[in-house]
Amino acid sequence: MNYHERPTALQEQAYTEARQHFAEHLKQFRANCDAIHNIESNLPATANDASRAALQSSGRVIQTDDGTQWQHAVDLTKITSVCHRHTSSGLEFAVVECLPLKSGEMKDVLNSSHDASEVLQIFARDQRQVLNLWKNDVTAQIREHLEEKYPHQDMNIVVESFDIKLARDISRRESVAQNQSHGVRI
């Protein structure tokens, strides 16, 4: 495909229609990219807050589904928090996910470490992988929608434009976070 070609009027119409049809998906995707970016850009401060909370032994107790008790330290998202607990090998941190379900709340440890920064870095890395999977899923849904709505029409340029936009949302936020993790430049 020649990406320097201008889209046809039908392709432009399809793009506008798909953008409206998937507006909520695209909005949620961007919000999640922003949330991960926020976590990455505030990682040192969040790790310090989690460590400070652990030293003060403050925070409500959260019992995960495996029976382990953790003390809440810092909220990361609506459903995830950094928690801590004292173990025989020292202080341990974890990212705990609390999913509200009809039958109650599922509480699960996503990752744990004796280093608050490491827990946050692992969480952010894993969430980026989820964003990439989500990007692929949204792109596939858009492709399927356009194939049904515009059969026998070449809508590859439309699908590619969504794929590129979603990838840019991820990479733009990722590159800012990577620049910040390399320290201060003088």
User: What is the pTM for the complete model shown?
Assistant: 0.79
For residue 128, give the nearest of 81, 87, 178, 94 by alpha carbon: 178
User: Is 159:153 a contact under the CB 8 Å cutoff?
Assistant: no
Per-residue pLDDT reduced to its tens digit, 3-41: 567 889 999 999 999 999 999 999 999 999 998 989 999
Residue 65 is classified by DSSP as: T
Residue 8 is classified by DSSP as: P
Across the range 38-65, mean pLDDT stands at: 90
Per-residue pLDDT reduced to its tens digit, 71-122: 999 999 889 999 999 999 999 999 999 988 877 789 999 999 999 999 999 9
Per-residue pLDDT reduced to its tens digit, 147-185: 999 999 999 999 999 999 999 999 864 444 454 444 433
Between CA 133 and CA 175 the distance in angstroms is 19
The ranges assigned to domains in the chain are 10-181
